[in-house]
Each structure stands twice: as structure tokens, then as C-alpha cells.
């Protein structure tokens, strides 16, 4: 599933073709994805100008001139692809329609935005822009890891007395929004913290040190266009390439990259997800 860097990469890719541009026509080619589309979604989108594109956690939010906001979640295999942009930001002509093109936005500037999702775990919803933070999917989210509300004191307090593994704690979207399996593994490796350590038993100093590490990992991944493992594509159809910089994720049996460390990368399963780490230098 795309994590924060992948979603942010897609948002940045969509912005030149969508921000300030009217949706000339919206096509909705099926009644639902993970859940039913909102009633009359095609008509509610058609004719509206996209005022801005925001991201909250793993959601893209398109604020419309109608006073509504389109919420987009890519799910496991969803892609938002741009074609035919007359501004020259994208070099791809409009492709032939595909079977899993579930929502298509024809923009007034000639661009076409296609939401393609073979597995149909993605989602879209419409909600009032004013008070959007109270939407059921957004109201439960913790602070953005790249925002000012995510700081050392917050994470120390969130971990206080917590007996769940630190890996699980960092995946808890109520503690920090947008982190997923890949980037938690990478951040814990840089912090030299084993993913099985109980969050409440880690010293405040080490917990505080996680904050800048998490920010650095996410920022580097965004600059690399995210990580493409199976289905993820940027908005122009290109792959991200942060996967080439993974220190631990997917590297089971490979040598640890810490200088002079004799360890190899191991893998365990926590709550149904693979955790990759070096037992020698992560304690």
C-alpha cells in the first residue's frame, strides 16, 4: 500500500495539471471501490474548479470551488495518472481506456486524470471542505510526521507506558499519521532500535531521536519519488526509486550496511507484516 512519500509524490505530480483548473467532465465507471461512491459524484465534480490539492496522512484532498472536497485513497494498487497536459509537464498522450479506469477527470486545460485500481481497494468520497478534518477517516489521525505537531515531547508522551512493540506503535495512525511498514523499518534501523522493543521501555532520549530520523527518511523518500515495489507509479507513470536506497526493507539475508557490523538483515513477522532489521546493531 502506498505510504506517505508515495501519496505526497502523486499529489505533487497532480498539482500542475489540476490546481486552479476546472473539471470539464467527470466520468465514474462503476458504483463503488472499497465502498460506494457518494451519490451523484460525477455531476458534483463536473464543472468545479480544483482550488488546491492537499495531503493528510495517506489521503489526497482536492478542495473544489463548490465548497466540497474530494478525498482520494489509492488503496493497494490505485494509480492517479496524468496524460495530455498542455503545459508540457507530462509527455504522455492520452492512452487508450483500460478495464480498471474507474474514475476519469477531463480537465479544461486538456489534461486527463485517470484513477486506475485493479484490486479496487482504493476509495473516493466527497465532503464539505469546511470541517473536513472531522470526516470519519481524518478525525482519528495523529500529527503529520513532517509537520510542527510531531515533535519529541509528543512521541515521548505517546510511548509512555506503552507495552506494544515500537514497530506497532509507529504504525498506529493515532500516534503519527502516514507511516507504513517500509519507512518504519528504515527509521528503526537508523535509530538502532529493534522493532520488537516495547515502546514504553525505550529511553526518552532514544524516542526523541526517532523524530528527526523519521523526518529524514520520509523527506529522502519523497525526493526519490517514493518506492515502487509492485503497483506504485508517479502521476506521470514513472516509477519511484527510493527502493534502491533501502537499508533493511526486503533485504533478508543481505549484509548489514552499518560499517564494521558483521550482521545480516533478518526478517520476522509482526501482526501479519514483515519486519526487517539487523539483530547485531538494533537493540
pLDDT confidence of residue 229: 44
Assess whether 179 and 274 both reside in one domain. Answer: yes
pLDDT confidence of residue 147: 96
pLDDT confidence of residue 130: 97
pLDDT in tens, 209-268: 999 999 999 998 888 766 544 444 445 555 444 555 789 998 999 999 999 999 999 999
Q: Of the residues 11, 56, 58, 112, which is catalytic?
A: 58
Assess whether 121 and 165 both reside in one domain. Answer: no
Q: How many domains in the chain?
A: 2
pLDDT confidence of residue 232: 41
The CA distance from 103 to 118, in Å, is 12
136 catalytic? Reply is: no
User: Could you tell me the maximum CA-CA distance found in the chain, to the nearest angstrom?
Assistant: 62
Assess whether 160 and 267 both reside in one domain. Answer: yes
Is residue 143 domain-resident? no
CB-count exposure of residue 103 (10 Å: 0-12, 13-18, 19+): buried
143 catalytic? Reply is: no
Q: Point out the domain boundary residue: 134, 169, 195.
A: 134
Is residue 186 domain-resident? yes
Is residue 140 domain-resident? no
Is residue 76 domain-resident? yes
> Domain range spanning residue 216?
152-278
Q: Do 57 and 145 meet the contact criterion of CB atoms below 8 Å apart?
A: no
Q: Of the residues 3, 8, 68, 186, which is catalytic?
A: 3
| Tens digits of pLDDT across the chain (283 residues) | 678 988 998 898 899 899 999 999 999 999 999 999 999 999 999 999 999 999 999 999 999 999 999 999 998 888 888 888 655 655 557 777 778 999 999 999 999 999 999 889 999 999 999 999 999 999 999 999 999 999 999 999 999 999 999 999 999 999 999 999 999 999 999 999 999 999 999 999 999 999 999 999 999 888 876 654 444 444 555 544 455 578 999 899 999 999 999 999 999 999 899 999 999 999 9
Assess whether 130 and 18 both reside in one domain. Answer: yes
Q: Of the residues 25, 34, 120, 273, which is catalytic?
A: 273
pLDDT confidence of residue 183: 92
pLDDT confidence of residue 94: 75
Q: Residue 252: name the closest of 228, 281, 275 by CA.
A: 275
Q: Residue 280: name the closest of 264, 267, 259 by CA.
A: 264
pLDDT confidence of residue 228: 43
| Phi, psi (deg, nearest 5) at residue 4 | -50, -50
Assess whether 110 and 191 both reside in one domain. Answer: no
Is residue 141 domain-resident? no
2 catalytic? Reply is: yes
Assess whether 101 and 166 both reside in one domain. Answer: no
Query: Which domain CATH number covers 19?
Result: 3.20.190.10
Amino acid at each position: 500500500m502506498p505510504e506517505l512519500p508515495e501519496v505526497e509524490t502523486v499529489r505533487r505530480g497532480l498539482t500542475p495539471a489540476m490546481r486552479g483548473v476546472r473539471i470539464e467532465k467527470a466520468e465514474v465507471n462503476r458504483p463503488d471501490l472499497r465502498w460506494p461512491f457518494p451519490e451523484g459524484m460525477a455531476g458534483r465534480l463536473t464543472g468545479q474548479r480544483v482550488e488546491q490539492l492537499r495531503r493528510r496522512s495517506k489521503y489526497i484532498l482536492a478542495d473544489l470551488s463548490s465548497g466540497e472536497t474530494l478525498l482520494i485513497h489509492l488503496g493497494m494498487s490505485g494509480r492517479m495518472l496524468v496524460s495530455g497536459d498542455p503545459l508540457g509537464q507530462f509527455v504522455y498522450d492520452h492512452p487508450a481506456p483500460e478495464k480498471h479506469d474507474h474514475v476519469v477527470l477531463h480537465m479544461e486545460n486538456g489534461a486527463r486524470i485517470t484513477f486506475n485500481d485493479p484490486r479496487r481497494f482504493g476509495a473516493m468520497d466527497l465532503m464539505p471542505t469546511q470541517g473536513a478534518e472531522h470526516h470519519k477517516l481524518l478525525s482519528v489521525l495523529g500529527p503529520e510526521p513532517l509537520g510542527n505537531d510531531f515533535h519529541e515531547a509528543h512521541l515521548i508522551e505517546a510511548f509512555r507506558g506503552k507495552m506494544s512493540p515500537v514497530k506497532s506503535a509507529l504504525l498506529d495512525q493515532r500516534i503519527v499519521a502516514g507511516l507504513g511498514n517500509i519507512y518504519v523499518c528504515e527509521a528503526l534501523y537508523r535509530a538502532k532500535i529493534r522493532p520488537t522493543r516495547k515502546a514504553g521501555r525505550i529511553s526518552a532520549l532514544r524516542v526523541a531521536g526517532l523524530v528527526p530520523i523519521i523526518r529524514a527518511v520520509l523527506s529522502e523518500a519523497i525526493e526519490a519519488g517514493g518506492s515502487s515495489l509492485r503497483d506504485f507509479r508517479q502521476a506521470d507513470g514513472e516509477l519511484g526509486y527510493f527502493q534502491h536506497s533501502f537499508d533493511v526493507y526486503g533485504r533478508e539475508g543481505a549484509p548489514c550496511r552499518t560499517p564494521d557490523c558483521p550482521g545480516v538483515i533478518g526478517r520476522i513477522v509482526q501482526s501479519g507484516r514483515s519486519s526487517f532489521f539487523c539483530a547485531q546493531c538494533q537493540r
